[in-house]
Chain A
Amino acid sequence: MGWWENVGGGAWGGVGVGGGGTAQRSPMSPSTSPTPDSAVLLIPNQRAEIERAENMLLEAMAARNYPDAARFAVRLALEESLVNAFRHGHRDLPADTPVRVEFAVDDQRVELSIEDQGPGFKPDDVPDPTLDENLERPTGRGLLLMRAYMARVEYIGRGNRVEMTYLRPPPRAASGAGPAA
């Protein structure tokens, strides 16, 4: 089960280490805010938990009127980073080892941080999947997609934490709100 605790307001910080059991929003979260702008979540590799976290983030974006293309982009980046965390970062760790996800949404941007407990990842080690000789390789596209859709993708520390920023596109460019590439 996931451990959840929302962090009210827009600031980063605070670690959700609430009790296990049912994965629902902490009673400590502000009762006036049904869609919190930020949260710290510890997510095990279970589909229902991943979707619950995604839905929290997508609802926070919807509450601030981010367009569908923006939510597509952020969801994709979160999916890809979680796949990397569980499949690669936690390869040699117990199956129930959680990944720590933080998000913060305001009117201009969405900030994401995904931290696994693995040995770290060197983005430069990933071969360019768009080269002709790599086009038929079935893996290695997650990072490419994260970078295409996010304004910032940065690996921190030993490479077990990735921070990403999505910037709301200018209103005029709303129809092109997808990838930055």
Chain B
Amino acid sequence: MRTVTLTKGVPDFREGQVSFDEDGHLERGDTPTVMNPNDEPALRASLQAKVRNGGTASVMSMGPPGYGDVLREAMESVYADDLYLLSDREMAAADTWATAITVATGIQNMDEEPDLVFAGFKTADGETGHTGPQTAWCLDWPLVTHVVALDVDTEAGTLRAKRLVEGDADEIETVEAPLPAFVVTDPEFEPSYRRAEHRLTHKDLREETRQRAGEHEDHMTVWDHSDLNLDPDFIGLDGSPTIVSGVDPIPKAPAERDATMVDPSDPEEMAGVVDEMSRFAGGD
């Protein structure tokens, strides 16, 4: 059993991490890059396949050389065996279409064809949810999306998945697909380890990976467009049919209450705060 999980480095949009300039544009240099949070369920699914069905788990990403850290993070969470980084100036500024072509070619370029490819349901920056399905289309594989639970039968060469229908947790359908297949996990995906043997294997892998993640670069393969035999006209910015005509900042929601700014080092202003608050002290 061989799986590949696709992941992406995205700006850390959490409060206190992200920074924007005056026009509301993201300051990429001042914002740390982290693993796309929606990729975590995909990584958990690939770990489940590795633990329950054996074999190897790979993680693949397309991005600048600095993405090595993102891949390291992914390796730690999925106990991955090896990492693939598709990295080349020609691949830069790709839309989902050009990205799908590049990633699908990367998957086909691997020594052995994987049985399963996992992707998260959307990225925190683009939020299109297109790249996964488009990659599946490029590979011409069956695609199962919004997966919340997964069972793989390696002998029969099939997977059985529970998927959310219309995003309502009450509506779940079970589907079967032949391998190889492309699985997009839902954020609600929960791995299941109901055998003690699975949990013991899980514990072994954690020990093993602790060591491997420290030297993750030894387990990383970097491919540029020539390694993948890709025509620069069909990848990166040149291969991207999407045109961004403009960006409108979303106006801040108006405050519902009046705010008064107080300089905390000014004793007079602070005295005013105390006066104001003292009306509410004492419980009446």
Q: Do A and B bind each other?
A: no
Q: Which residues of B contact A (CB under 8 A)?
A: none
